[in-house]
Structure 1
């Protein structure tokens, strides 16, 4: 059996990772996102007649969709932060740097890697 085929047959896309948030002194659990989840987030963040994507909203939606713990849709959490929805809860509950850290981790877990890493992997 070919190595690529063997790898795909034995692989799972159900990946999770814990990310430590120092300010909160706890870990958040994120999961990898599939293409459909990313496209739904992009569609939700598309604004205006020109079809432009609100990048900040898109990132917050990715956090919402990838967060296994905490659940930003939790009513008590949204009430606590007086958030209109889960994406607004992310905006109000997390500092910008914390959001960036989570986004970077979600993208890496979902298979997006830096070009430099790809080049290095290709060399090996």
Structure 2
């Protein structure tokens, strides 16, 4: 385990939770600014994208990954409102999360979602495993 060089209390007191990151979208020639999301917000978005099948002991939760990803991006976006009526009309979308799915390519969605989760403190799970090993 690495030796701690900072006082944890002082670090937390000085920390800013309003973290933002610019994600370049080459196809569009823009940078989408996204903000970090807290656990409560991520939990709420996960819940909104979850549906259940079965009853009683056989009840199972299923998350709609596309809906979840769209909602995360729509909620985190700082400089673009995916719920703008013009965008909803152009893409025939029912809401902001649906608009994300219809307006962006799959790779763009994956890149943006990864950036959001990274600045929200999740990082790359594979990288974290490698760090622990070393």
Q: With the length of structure 2 as denominator, give the TM-score of the two structures.
A: 0.83
Indicate whether 1:6 and 2:5 are aligned.
Answer: no
Match of 2:75 in 1: 65
| Residues 1:121 and 1:11: Cα distance change in structure 2 (over 3 Å) | farther
Unaligned runs of 5+ in 2: 1-5, 54-59
Indicate whether 1:86 and 2:90 are aligned.
Answer: no
Unaligned runs of 5+ in 1: none
Match of 1:102 in 2: 112
CA distance in 2, matches of 1:82, 1:116: 37
Shift of 1:116: 4.8
Q: 2:27 aligns with which of 23, 28, 34?
A: 23
Q: 2:66 aligns with which of 43, 56, 72?
A: 56
Match of 1:77 in 2: 87
CA distance in 2, matches of 1:121, 1:57: 32
Q: With the length of structure 1 as denominator, give the TM-score of the two structures.
A: 0.90
CA distance in 2, matches of 1:115, 1:32: 17
Shift of 1:69: 1.7
Higher helix proportion (structure 1 or 2): 1
Q: Which runs of 4+ in 1 moved over 6 A?
A: none
Tell me how many residue pairs correspond in the alignment: 122
CA distance in 2, matches of 1:115, 1:103: 14
CA distance in 2, matches of 1:115, 1:43: 22
Indicate whether 1:120 and 2:124 are aligned.
Answer: no
CA distance in 2, matches of 1:84, 1:115: 33
